[in-house]
Amino acid sequence: MKKGFGKVVLNPQQQREVKIIKQSVLKHFQQIPDPRVHRTRHHSLEAILTIAILAVLSGADGFVAIEVYGKSKQSWLEQFLDLPHGIPSHDTFIRVIGAIDPMALQESFLAWIATISEKLKIEVIHIDGKTSRGSYDREGQLKALHTVSAWSSEHGLVLAQQKVKDKSNEITAVPQLLLLLNLKGAVVTLDAMGTQTEIARQIKRQDGNYLLALKGNQLNLYKQVEAWFAEASAKSWEGIDYSYHETVEAAHHRVETRQVWVVSVKQLPRLHRQSQWEGLTTVVMVRRERQLWNKTTTEIQFYLSSLEADAERHSWVIRSHWSIENSLHWVLDVTFNEDASRIRQGNAAQNLGLLRHLSISLLKQEPSKLSLKMKRYTAGMDNDFLLQILSAGLAEI
């Protein structure tokens, strides 16, 4: 990089780097309204958000780490950012990011997701909630942040998130989250908390399908389905038209057998409040048997579904729902240390949580076989690898 007549002259490699930065996911965050008054804007919002995104991708789990990242990369960052006052302090990062409207940040996130999902076929969307346990403040009577996320297991993408309001629960947040999503042709999976007639109706009216876990919060319906399947099993399914699929897996000194039965609701006696479950087509029973060296355990679960009676497809959809725990929530806690984070100023915890979701999605798109932890570690040391992550989903540059 040379300077001539007061202007920075970039070599071809640096020009390519700047082009990737400008055309990558970062461009979707340039229109976010700045929450500060003009006299306090020593650093541009574009610079603050860009450094924060790059830092979180590169292993920063808090605002002090974001500042340290910025200072260590300052000469490189100055190629594409205007930094007349240097790198913002960690206090500036937390104050500004804590003041940004979460909905504005979410809209920018969704704009990026739209450019990616246009090229992908999203077949299944898993919805589940997570609590950031370290975000509570007992003295300030602030509850821990709880969010509901939509996850595509096929593509490793967080599709959207919605904060659960204080004195509320996931039932109120899920409908708002669904409105952010394009459900056409997709199957939405939810655990028992989301098994509500209103949610099933909304999914169908947004042109989606559903697979909902049936447990005790729908007690009358649960008992009715449980009794019917018990009787059908006792009679060896005689006279019943059903779809069946079985898988057996052996790993980690454990053998797990999964059996799935799917039956049309037309074969069951009229179910409790059946007319209120819009689109209800089939009911599902899953039996899991785990054989360990010293014991065998059995678990039975039931589901309501708007899909046709295809046990193999149901088996795949149900199993993929577990990925929101293993590939998203576990990663947030173990790789991004989210549960340990004590950030709670303004909207900072919610907005930083969205940046973590953004980072997971970007890291998942990068095709190397490295673990997410190693991808972050490598991105922090190697700018070329970081640019490779940022360019995921872009046409070749």
- How does pLDDT run across 78-107, given as a tens digit for each residue? 988 889 999 999 999 999 999 999 899 989
Q: Is the pLDDT of residue 9 over 70?
A: no
Measured distance CA(162)–CA(157) in Å, rounded = 15
In this predicted structure, the answer to whether residue 141 has a pLDDT above a threshold of 50 is no
Amino acid letter, residue 306: S
Task: Quote the pLDDT of residue 375.
Answer: 95
Q: What is the residue extent of each domain of the chain?
A: 2-100+366-390, 113-329
Report the pLDDT value the prediction gives residue 309, as an integer from 0 to 100.
96
* Cβ atoms of 270 and 251 closer than 8 Å: no
pLDDT tens-digit readout, 37-90: 887 788 999 999 999 999 999 999 889 999 999 999 999 999 888 899 999 999
CB 308 within 8 A of CB 263: no
pLDDT in tens, 192-244: 989 999 999 999 999 999 999 999 999 999 999 999 999 999 999 999 999 99
Evaluate if residue 185 carries a pLDDT over 50.
yes
- Alpha carbon distance 235, 89 (integer Å): 70
Identity (one letter) of the amino acid at 361?
Answer: S
